[in-house]
Structure 1
């Protein structure tokens, strides 16, 4: 995960990546709806999985990678999984 995070940071000019998402999540007081609002994700489970994603540098900070990597489309799993995985890898310390 560290390597993937470094690649996201490098090629997005530090706009995307797990550490960017962790920072935003902490900034909003670990409030998942606020986190989703900041990164440009809908709260609900969209019918078309990638319809809400913007695959360019104009997307909001932390927009990518999508939440699919941790909990699939079960959005309520994302926040806890994000925190746990970042902590386990030491990514939230970078």
Structure 2
């Protein structure tokens, strides 16, 4: 029986119970909750590579051990690390080149035929590829970039290039393009083409940047897993 040790007094009973009952989606969400709590991050926040580097080994061993035990070795951070290393990844905490990163994501089933899966498209049962869970790609903190910041930069560019008239013109163009884009995203969501929340679309950096951030967090995680003897 896996011991539920924690360096910070975290209670892993619920995670153990969910995993023992094969409630994989709920267990994934509970894993997110406890890791954010251990890292002293808000529940609606996310993890950074610094959070991972400082994550207590006792807690990491408990979380990983529970996933490995109740999935019969199919899921867990140590399983993901093994896949990563076997596909050319280095355990140095640095994001690898795209070729290595994509190999991991495709082997774990997070990227299929060149397409990144949304969280709701993941497979929450043991028919999933080895290493599929837990999936921390949706837990990583994206740096917020409020639209107002881009608006200010846009207007300043107009002011510098064309004075007051240039600033007013670019401000109007900004407003029009965002209204059009907002209406377009609402329409695409209504017909089922877009499945991510509109709010996250407005407040986050481009997907490519987000993917690189996730890559860095995973690289840090695998380095930490190794340092903790897993």
* Fold equivalence (TM over 0.5): yes
Is residue 88 of structure 2 the alignment partner of residue 88 of structure 1? no
Q: Distance in 1 between matches of 2:116 and 2:132?
A: 16
Larger radius of gyration between Structure 1 and Structure 2: 2
Deviations 1:16-46 (A, max 9, x none): 0111101100110011110000000027766
> What does residue range 67-82 of structure 1 map to in structure 2 within 5 Å?
67-68=136-137, 71-72=140-141, 74-82=213-221
Point out the more displaced range, 59-68 or 81-90.
81-90
Say which SS state the counterpart of residue 51 (structure 1) adopts: helix
Where does structure 1 lack aligned partners over 5 or more consecutive residues? none
Matches within 5 A, 1:1-94: 1-30=60-89, 31-42=100-111, 48=118, 50-68=119-137, 71-72=140-141, 74-91=213-230
- Checking the alignment, whether the CA contact within 8 Å between 2:78 and 2:222 is kept in structure 1 is no
Moved more, 72-81 or 16-25: 72-81
Distance across 1 between alignment mates of 2:106 and 2:140? 18
Could you say what secondary structure the match of 2:80 adopts? helix
Where do 5+ consecutive residues of structure 2 fail to align? 1-59, 90-99, 142-209
Inter-partner Cα distance in structure 2 for 1:22 and 1:55: 20
Larger RCO (alpha carbons 8 Å, 6+ apart): 1
Matched residue count = 89
